Amino acid sequence: MKHNVTGLQYFCKTTKLHLLNSYKGSGKYWKRHRAKHGNDISVGVLGVYYEADRCNNAALEFSKTNDIVKSIEWANLIYENGFDGAPTGETNPMYGRESRLKGKKRPEISEMLRGEKNPMWGKPSPMRGVSKPKGKDSPLYGRKRPEGGGKKPHPVIGMKNGEEYHFDSVADASRFIGRTRSSVHKCCSGKAKTGGGYTWKYKE
């Protein structure tokens, strides 16, 4: 298995061939990795075996050839033997041995792609020297939302010294008082008494 987001790989077996494409793997570190980075996974098949000895030999050979336990490119904590996963108790190959990860954190994909391994190594950033236009220089300046698109503007009424000020939207009102839209919304919803020196209410 290979995580399509991080590139981390996991070698495992399943007896449920009809669920091959939906099986996600059950290793402890692999499950934590999926919980953090999601389940976008590609599944490959080393082989289909009906004899225990052939399955065991193929699994161990692949495990040792790719050094899946020590390599940071793999999520396996023990060698895959093609049977029922890691046994418990004294039969576990790690029983009584100190974990090689004790006090350490397995490098994430950012560490795996440092230096020359990074596909962007030696290449200038495509955004270098490019700044996003703001204000009147922005191509979106002065444009309004298309009719029917996004949230419809909510007309509001501002009151101060007995006079009323009508606005077609909260955005227009916030620009008038020089404050954020939240100051108008909070006043309209009763969370604040005033916004920018005005009392506000939604226009029915």
Checking if the pLDDT of 87 tops 90, the result is no
Average pLDDT along the chain: 79
* Rounded Cα–Cα distance for residues 46 and 39 (Å): 21
Domain ranges of the chain: 2-117, 156-202
Checking if the pLDDT of 106 tops 80, the result is no
pTM of the full structure:
0.41
Of residues 33 and 107, which shows the higher confidence score? 33
pLDDT at 21: 72
What is the secondary structure of 183-202 as a DSSP string? HHHHHHTTS-S-BTTBEEEE
Mean pLDDT value of segment 195-200:
92
Q: Is 53 helix (H, G, I), strand (E, B) or coil?
A: helix
Can you read off the two tokens belonging to residue 147? 């009719």
What's the pLDDT band for 117 if we cut at 50, 70, 90? Answer: confident
pLDDT at 92: 55
Q: Is 158 helix (H, G, I), strand (E, B) or coil?
A: strand
Angstrom CA distances, 47 to 76, 82, 90, 115, 139, stand at 19, 11, 30, 35, 56
Mean pLDDT value of segment 95-116:
59
* Rounded Cα–Cα distance for residues 182 and 198 (Å): 13
pLDDT digits (tens, 9 = 90+) for 8-54: 999 888 877 777 777 888 788 888 888 888 888 888 888 888 788 88
* Rounded Cα–Cα distance for residues 88 and 100 (Å): 18
Checking if the pLDDT of 198 tops 90, the result is yes
Mean pLDDT value of segment 97-117:
60
pLDDT digits (tens, 9 = 90+) for 167-196: 999 989 998 898 899 999 999 999 999 998
